[in-house]
Amino acid sequence: MSRTRAARSAATALVLLALGASAAGCGSGAAKPATPPPNISPASAAPATPKAATALPASKPVRVRIPAAGVDTGPILDLGLAADGTVEVPSVADADRIGWYDKGVTPGQTGPAVLIGHFDTVKGPAVLKNVSKVKVGDLVTVDRADGKPARFAVRALEQVDKKTFPTQKVYGNTDRPELRIITCGGELTGGHRPDNIIVYADLVA
Residue 130, in any domain of the structure: yes
pLDDT for position 28: 52
Residue 132, in any domain of the structure: yes
Identify the three-state secondary structure at position 152: strand
pLDDT for position 158: 94
Query: Is residue 165 pLDDT above 50, yes or no?
Result: yes
Number of domains in the chain: 1
| 31-to-20, 104, 122, 154, 184 alpha-carbon distances in Å | 26, 34, 6, 32, 16
Task: Look up the CATH number of the domain holding residue 112.
Answer: 2.40.260.10
| 14-to-18, 69, 74, 109, 126 alpha-carbon distances in Å | 6, 29, 27, 19, 27
pLDDT for position 192: 87
Residue 176, in any domain of the structure: yes
Q: Could you list the residue range(s) of the whole structural domain that residue 116 is in? A: 51-204
pLDDT tens per residue, range 55-87: 999 999 999 999 999 999 999 999 999 998 889
pLDDT tens per residue, range 135-160: 999 999 999 999 999 999 999 999 99
Please, are residues 107 and 61 in contact by the beta-carbon 8 Å criterion?
yes
Residue 107, in any domain of the structure: yes
End-to-end CA distance of the chain: 20
